């Protein structure tokens, strides 16, 4: 009997259908963030701002569209399944001198062609940072109407591009708004900037698009570097705005207080919303955006998505940027970990455990969840890689190292 057949029988004894789990996992598209490849610099500015930071100086950063596309292709070749690519507006590809309020679908045509070639979907984000008009750490909530108007135009232009992506690729594009607005020290007026943000969002979302093409999300946050005391777009602000306006409130796993977990929020969000959007990241003491590990919390997030029947209603995107390690390995580890967490969740005997909970048999719940950890999960993961013609654990990294020698280390 092969290891996989044996594993399958062990799971079947608990009432878990392994083949079904593999079929389900295959259909999940995870949005891989283009910005891990170049330390969030994009192609229209040369420094990162907005309260977020990449640290490290590992060689090989992608310096232009060709390099970034080549690196993304390399990463996809080492990840099972077909996914999505998450772009920021700052990654437009054009020789024109076009500012952010004037970007158009044509400035992203090269990415659409790339997506078609790769068989992937695209997601999009307006870029409200790394720009002279964002230097006050105020954009959509800026006191000066001219600055606000510039960013409102950017928000609108971005949704039009997202709509084009969805229409061209036949895969719904998530357009996600995150702004850095806030103050370093305790403000004298919290309401004013929030009123202005609300008005700016009303203008951006006044244009209606086909929801098959584009869906909208807004991403809250607790604090950023340099804006430690007050964030205009807080979680409460966006939860309320989203529920009043039929948008998604995107949850970034690094954007809450250190002991607060996103896994516990998922059931409530899915109960009251058709869709959910996530940025999966790993905060180390703060919103540090480390590469995601196969941690207890990552597994718990995946468990909740599975238990709440949320897999086909959730936009799962990754959001981390580490410049101190090989950037392609960062993508591959993160993407494969997200898939592993989902597979682990799909292999959980949830029906049986739920029955125990409802019968107040909490010892059974504890024992069941703990003993699941020593089941032959790795054999099922290996089978998934085999079925998807993707390299196994302990195989793919060699390939990255070769690429590093042949390509990355030759960049300066």
Tokens matching residue 291:
């590469």
Say whether 181 is catalytic: no
Mark 245-284 with x for binding to Zn ion (rule: CB under 5 A) and - for no binding.
-------x--------------------------x-----
By the 8 A CB rule, do 293 and 309 touch?
A: no
CA distances from 223 to 50, 88, 227, 257, 266 (A): 11, 21, 6, 9, 21
Residue 410 annotated among the catalytic residues of the structure: no
Known catalytic residue at 296: no
The answer for residues whose C-beta is within 8 angstroms of residue 112's C-beta and 6 or more apart is 105, 122, 164, 165, 168, 169
In b/e form, how buried is each residue of 335-347, taking b as 16+ CB within 10 angstroms? bbbbbbbbbbbbb
Q: Which of 319, 322, 383, 404 is catalytic?
A: 319
Q: Which of 8, 221, 235, 299 is catalytic?
A: 221
213 has catalytic annotation: no
Q: Which of 131/279 has CB closer to Zn ion? A: 279
Taking CB under 5 A as the rule, does residue 215 contact Zn ion? Answer: no
Indicate if the alpha-carbon torsion angle 315, 168, 79, 32 is positive or negative: negative
Of 111, 151, 178, 396, which residue is the catalytic one? Answer: 178
Write down the number of H helices and E strands in the chain: 14, 12
Nearer to Zn ion, 237 or 344 (CB): 237
Residue 383's binding partner, choosing from Zn ion, ligand RNT, none, with beta-carbon cut-off 5 to 8 A by kind?
Answer: none
Classify burial at 149, counting beta carbons within 10 Å of its beta carbon; exposed 0-12, middle 13-18, buried 19 or more.
middle
| 406 labelled catalytic | no
Which residue ranges make up the site for ligand RNT (CB under 6 A)? Answer: 35, 40, 52, 125, 178, 219, 221, 252, 279, 287, 319
Nearest approach, Cβ of 228 to ligand RNT (angstroms)?
Answer: 13
Which run of H or of E encompasses 367? helix 362-371
Q: Smallest distance from the beta carbon of 373 to ligand RNT, in angstroms?
A: 30
Which one of Zn ion, ligand RNT, none interacts with residue 125, CB within 5 to 8 A by kind?
Answer: ligand RNT
Q: Which of 219, 303, 304, 322 is catalytic?
A: 219
The set of catalytic residues is 178, 219, 221, 252, 255, 279, 287, 289, 319
């Amino acid at each position: 009997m092969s290891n996989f057949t044996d594993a399958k029988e062990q799971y079947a004894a608990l009432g878990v259908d392994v083949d079904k789990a593999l079929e389900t996992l295959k259909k999940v598209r995870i949005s891989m963030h283009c910005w891990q490849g170049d330390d969030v610099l994009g192609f229209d500015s040369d420094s990162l701002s907005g309260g977020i930071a990449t640290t490290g100086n590992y060689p090989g950063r992608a310096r232009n569209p060709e390099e970034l596309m080549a690196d993304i292709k390399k990463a996809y070749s080492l990840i099972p399944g077909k996914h999505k690519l998450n772009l920021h507006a700052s990654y437009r590809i054009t020789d024109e001198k076009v500012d952010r309020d004037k970007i158009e679908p044509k400035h992203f045509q090269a990415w659409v062609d790339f997506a078609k070639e790769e068989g992937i979907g695209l997601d999009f984000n307006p870029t409200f940072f790394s720009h002279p008009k964002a230097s006050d750490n105020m954009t959509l909530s800026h006191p000066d109407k001219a600055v606000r108007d510039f960013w409102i135009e950017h928000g609108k232009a971005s949704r039009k591009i997202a709509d084009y992506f969805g229409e061209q690729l036949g895969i719904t594009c998530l357009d996600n708004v995150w702004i850095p607005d806030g103050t370093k020290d305790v403000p004298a007026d919290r309401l004013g900037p929030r009123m202005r943000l609300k008005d700016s969002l009303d203008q951006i979302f006044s244009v209606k698009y086909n929801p098959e093409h584009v869906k909208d999300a807004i991403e809250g946050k607790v604090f950023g570097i340099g804006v430690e005391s007050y964030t205009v777009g807080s979680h409460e602000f966006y939860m309320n705005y989203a529920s009043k306006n039929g948008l998604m409130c995107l949850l970034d796993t690094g954007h809450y207080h250190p002991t607060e977990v996103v896994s516990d929020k998922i059931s409530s969000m899915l109960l009251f919303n058709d869709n959910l959007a996530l940025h999966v990241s790993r905060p180390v003491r703060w919103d540090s955006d480390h590469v995601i590990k196969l941690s207890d919390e990552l597994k718990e997030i995946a468990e909740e998505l599975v238990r709440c029947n949320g897999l086909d209603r959730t936009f799962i995107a990754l959001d981390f940027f580490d410049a101190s390690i090989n950037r392609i390995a960062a993508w591959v580890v993160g993407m494969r970990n997200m898939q592993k967490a989902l597979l682990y969740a799909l292999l959980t005997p949830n029906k049986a455990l739920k029955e125990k909970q409802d019968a107040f048999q909490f010892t059974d719940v504890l024992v069941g969840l703990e003993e699941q950890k020593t089941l032959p999960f790795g054999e099922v993961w290996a089978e998934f890689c085999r079925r998807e013609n993707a390299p196994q654990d302990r195989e793919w990294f060699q390939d990255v190292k070769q690429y590093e020698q042949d390509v990355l280390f030759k960049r300066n």
